[in-house]
Structure 1
Amino acid sequence: MSRRYHKKNQSQNAVRIAGVRIDAVAAEGKCVVRTDEGIIFVENPTGGPGVAPGDVVDLRITGKKKQYREAVAEQVHEWSAVRVKPFCEHFGTCGGCKWQHIQYPEQLNFKHQQVVDHLTRIGKVALPTIRPILPAHPTQYYRNKLEFTCAEGRWMTQQEVQSGQLIDQRAVGFHVPGRFDKVLPIHHCYLQPDPSNAIRQAVSDYVFANDMTLYNLKTHTGFLRTLIIRTADTTQQVMVTLQVAYDHPDWLNGLLEHLKRNFPQITSLNYILNSKKNDSYQDQEVINWAGKPYIEEQMDEADGPPLTFRIGPKSFYQTNAQQAHNLYKITRDWAGLTGNERVYDLYTGTGTIALFVARRAKEVIGVEYVEASVADARINAQVNGITNASFVAGDMRDILTDSFFDQHGRPEVVITDPPRAGMDEAVTRQLLKAAPDRIVYVSCNTATQARDLGILDEGYAVTNVQPVDMFPHTHHVENVVLLSRKS
């Protein structure tokens, strides 16, 4: 329990609690305080120093639910021993890297405990000893993709607002949490390696030098909408994609030529003309302006030459390529392949896991909802000369039927890597009917993974669990679970 607890103000709109100690980290990166009157989940307000387990803080209650209350920290009286000085000047305002004020070993402990809590409290299945979480290396500049918003709606500090000065509202950066219409201009980002920062700054400078309009997220006017930068760790190739709201040849060609001239590292330069009121572009045409329409990433392979993956502007590829390689090796090893197995790779995306395990399997069948991703997977199979992998596009619930199993054969091994929502219950039930010998379940959301394990427990035992840190300085954690069919 917290050491001190009393209410300062009982008015309906300003209930405050003074001098309480933060107990632990909860789901979605929130912190938790356990009091005599129940649990309080504590958010980190924009512009604040963040809270960490061990901090002694004053809280302001912001919401009340049936089983808990919500609050934000207004003042920190005592700093936790697990704290460290944030390395980024934008910490507390930017929505990324929310845990950089917590020592990295402690981040790993919190993530490991999150996996334990979800699997035991939600899944309620028998578990082996959960392996220590696999740390990421490096913990900065590890992402291969960033999307910057270019908008008229600059986030202003309290000092800037109080100054009364006229400030240009254009900004190239990240959305401020909870404010869809406010963008924080970024000076330096520690997420993506060079030349990401230089390219973003060059775009920002060109906007101001040429009086280019940026998109207004409220009025839906303005020209430049987003800047997407992708980098390849192994080949050093760089892709830049601009998204614009309408055709303006002088601005568009001028900016593209500026980037081409000043950044010879860019091997793929593209743009998207999107007149919709939202920035989603999966349904939009991508126009390749210079270079190739893709970049390439490679993964070393013990079973043959390195695998090469083509990544287009719309392709999904794990954003931490180095740690993804480790994740895939765990997945392949736990699949226990001898060369005689038929493997189903569900939610295969662009086929990275399917192709990574194909050389050790008799046959791999990848299933994916997004048709463009399936097209990428087929191309990647051709590029790598892999002939024992095939891919099917469609809704998993509709495809994974008895007739599909009859047509393609029952799998000995199933690998599944669903989105954060987990697997649909109908899909989980079909896996029970298919009765493969082993299921390797890769998840980016251990809460929904635990829910699905509770269903699979009818026919499978969890025999191995390996958490993997893919995103340092965030609360996100990847988890691999091996399930073996019960006798």
Structure 2
Amino acid sequence: MKKGITIDSLEITGISSEGKGVGRVDGKVVFVKETVPGDVVNARIVGKKKKFLEAYAEELVKKSDERIEPFCEHFGLCGGCKWQHMSYEAQLKYKQGHVEENLRKLSGLDLPNVMPILGSEKTSFYRNKLEFTFSNFRWLTKEEIQSDEEHVRTGLGFHIPKQYNKIVNISKCHLQADPSNEIRLKVKEFADQHGISFYDVKNQEGFLRNLVIRTASTGDVMVILQVHYRDQEMLDLVMNFIQRAFPEITSLMYVINEKGNDSYSDLEIELYAGKDHIMEQMGDLKFKIGPKSFYQTNSAQAHKLYKIAADFADLKGDELVYDLYTGTGTIANFVARSAKKVVGIEYVEDAIKDAFVNSELNGITNTDFYAGDMKDLLANEFINQHGKPDVIITDPPRAGMHPRVTQLLADLKVDRIVYVSCNPATQARDLEVLGEVYNVEKIQPVDMFPQTQHVENVVLLKLRNK
């Protein structure tokens, strides 16, 4: 089994947590992208590791019953929607399976049955935030390369997976509702017409770098244009066009980024027109979303996710709740009316400022928020000062909780922990430690990201031998 060799009639029997089809040859696992369990393919090997092979399907010999026709012309090129060639029913089945497999294999715990995954009513146009990248040297398709025509090399779209300098120019994205597509297309057209330079990531030159579009259920729209250097005349030209062409934009902002990467969490974002935020509505709660604020990208599913977290917390009104990794305080404010007090902790200071504002907006007076590194801030001194919690809700990033945080939660021996995770593998790792003190009572997966392999999972832990 060497690179370049074709494996004939390889049956795809499973799917990996990264979204690739899984087959076996000579006892070795073969990962084949863009395949579905039940497919039979002729697969060409493109990578060889000690324990597995990587391949792509040269020919589809037999089509799986779970395979459907991808709806997006960019499928297979851009980094998103890797599962749109699979029926949504199958997507939910495999996501449920990944949660079960990760939690049982990696936690080593005796677990209850995983409840049926909660699917999303919207399977396209469900995101409230997208980030597009400008490039002066976009990716060309095979058809474009083979044609004799000259092609415009500027692009505005998404990165090709694992290719930091390769951008697919997006004609239509099925992830975010209008005016997202129209804004992106018209901004690119305007920049091309006026000869405005697109960023060259290798040489780190060019004006236009990045375009962020955020939409809200309230109808608010935020657009953030990221440019490489300050050229006020050029900036005014583009920003005035965006403002005139899209009067529905309620928050128009820009950021000057002279760094080597596109992150702007440490940079000043300047307001050009409108407000410095948009408003999101969740039930009867309002949330202020600033340019650096984290908010779940699937608003409708986020509401369902928080309802599950609140249900698992089972608050009676007299509890002290700690909300770890609180972000802009969405979960904290969501459960505050059912608790005596909620204390939120978050690393990003700007997010904590928004959390206070969100409490004030909703007339909530029993919350308090603190900014700091979780592993350093959440310690015995903090707990002695603010009180031992009765319930802990934790929603960490994909890497999971720091070992010191996990161990502290085990040592605290609170009544209940509600663990919300976007990565069942790291969640399982943390549950192994917590499982020494707590029993896992409920497990509820939630599909926040249709057409992708990603899944959220909520776990309820109760103190053992209370």
- 8 Å Cα contact 2:126/2:298 also seen in 1: yes
State the SS of the aligned residue for 1:29: coil
Matched, 1:130 2:120: no
Instruction: Write out per-residue CA displacement over residues 456-477 of structure 1, whole angstroms, 9 at most, x where no aligned residue.
Output: 1100000000000000000000
State the SS of the aligned residue for 2:18: helix
- 8 Å Cα contact 2:99/2:424 also seen in 1: yes
TM norm structure 2 = 0.98
How many Å separate the matches in 1 of 2:184 and 2:301?
25
Instruction: Write out per-residue CA displacement over residues 199-249 of structure 1, whole angstroms, 9 at most, x where no aligned residue.
Output: 11110111111111010111111001011000001x100000100011222
From 340, 345, 348, give the equivalent of 1:362. Answer: 340
From 364, 375, 387, give the equivalent of 1:386. Answer: 364
- 8 Å Cα contact 1:405/1:434 also seen in 2: no
Matched, 1:32 2:10: no
Matched, 1:445 2:420: no
Q: Where in structure 2 are the equivalents of 1:284-303 lying within 5 Å? A: 284-300=267-283
- 8 Å Cα contact 1:294/1:312 also seen in 2: yes
Aligned residues: 465
Q: Which amino acid aligns with 1:212?
A: I
Flag structure 1 segments of 5+ consecutive residues without an equivalent: 1-9, 45-49, 301-305
- Greater shift, 53-62 or 277-286, is seen at 53-62
- 8 Å Cα contact 2:68/2:86 also seen in 1: yes
How many Å separate the matches in 2 of 1:257 and 1:219?
28
State the SS of the aligned residue for 2:250: strand
Aligned partner of 1:7 in structure 2 is none
| Deviation for aligned residue 1:330 | 0.5
| Deviation for aligned residue 1:321 | 0.5
Aligned partner of 2:351 in structure 1 is 373
Aligned partner of 2:252 in structure 1 is 269
Matched, 1:244 2:227: yes
- 8 Å Cα contact 2:220/2:279 also seen in 1: yes
| Deviation for aligned residue 1:164 | 4.7
Q: Which amino acid aligns with 1:284?
A: L
State the SS of the aligned residue for 2:342: strand
State the SS of the aligned residue for 2:286: strand
How many Å separate the matches in 2 of 1:166 and 1:419?
44
From 410, 414, 421, give the equivalent of 2:399. Answer: 421
Q: Which amino acid aligns with 2:17?
A: A
How many Å separate the matches in 2 of 1:290 and 1:73?
49
Aligned partner of 2:287 in structure 1 is 309
- Greater shift, 21-30 or 101-110, is seen at 21-30
> Could you tell me the percent identity over the aligned residues?
52
How many Å separate the matches in 2 of 1:216 and 1:63?
29
Q: Which amino acid aligns with 1:297?
A: E
Aligned partner of 1:336 in structure 2 is 314
What RMSD, in angstroms, separates the aligned Cα atoms of the two structures?
1.2
How many Å separate the matches in 1 of 2:55 and 2:24?
12
How many Å separate the matches in 2 of 1:252 and 1:329?
43
Aligned partner of 2:4 in structure 1 is 14
How many Å separate the matches in 2 of 1:394 and 1:62?
44
State the SS of the aligned residue for 1:138: coil
State the SS of the aligned residue for 1:239: strand
Q: Which amino acid aligns with 1:74?
A: E
- 8 Å Cα contact 1:148/1:226 also seen in 2: yes
| Deviation for aligned residue 1:99 | 0.5
State the SS of the aligned residue for 1:168: coil
Flag structure 2 segments of 5+ consecutive residues without an equivalent: none
From 51, 58, 62, give the equivalent of 2:46. Answer: 62
TM norm structure 1 = 0.94
Instruction: Write out per-residue CA displacement over residues 124-162 of structure 1, whole angstroms, 9 at most, x where no aligned residue.
Output: 211112110000011111000000101112110112222
Q: Which amino acid aligns with 1:280?
A: S
Aligned partner of 2:78 in structure 1 is 94
How many Å separate the matches in 2 of 1:204 and 1:449?
41
How many Å separate the matches in 1 of 2:371 and 2:431?
25
Matched, 1:75 2:75: no
- 8 Å Cα contact 1:61/1:69 also seen in 2: yes
- 8 Å Cα contact 2:220/2:250 also seen in 1: yes
How many Å separate the matches in 1 of 2:240 and 2:49?
54
Q: Where in structure 2 are the equivalents of 1:221-232 lying within 5 Å? A: 221-232=205-216
Aligned partner of 1:47 in structure 2 is none
Matched, 1:280 2:263: yes
- 8 Å Cα contact 1:239/1:295 also seen in 2: yes
Instruction: Write out per-residue CA displacement over residues 36-73 of structure 1, whole angstroms, 9 at most, x where no aligned residue.
Output: 4222222x2xxxxx211111111222333333332222
Q: Which amino acid aligns with 2:250?
A: T
How many Å separate the matches in 2 of 1:415 and 1:179?
36
From 36, 58, 68, give the equivalent of 1:84. Answer: 68
- 8 Å Cα contact 2:10/2:24 also seen in 1: no
- 8 Å Cα contact 1:344/1:366 also seen in 2: yes
Instruction: Write out per-residue CA displacement over residues 425-463 of structure 1, whole angstroms, 9 at most, x where no aligned residue.
Output: 111110111111000000000000011111111000000
How many Å separate the matches in 2 of 1:337 and 1:464?
16
Q: Which amino acid aligns with 1:477?
A: V
Instruction: Write out per-residue CA displacement over residues 231-290 of structure 1, whole angstroms, 9 at most, x where no aligned residue.
Output: 001x10000010001122222112111111121110000000111111110011100000
From 209, 212, 215, give the equivalent of 2:199. Answer: 215
- Greater shift, 333-342 or 156-165, is seen at 156-165
- Greater shift, 185-194 or 31-40, is seen at 31-40
- 8 Å Cα contact 1:148/1:228 also seen in 2: yes
Aligned partner of 2:128 in structure 1 is 144
How many Å separate the matches in 1 of 2:56 and 2:123?
28
- 8 Å Cα contact 2:40/2:62 also seen in 1: yes
How many Å separate the matches in 2 of 1:419 and 1:199?
30
State the SS of the aligned residue for 1:465: strand
From 318, 342, 365, give the equivalent of 2:296. Answer: 318
State the SS of the aligned residue for 1:290: strand
Q: Which amino acid aligns with 2:434?
A: L
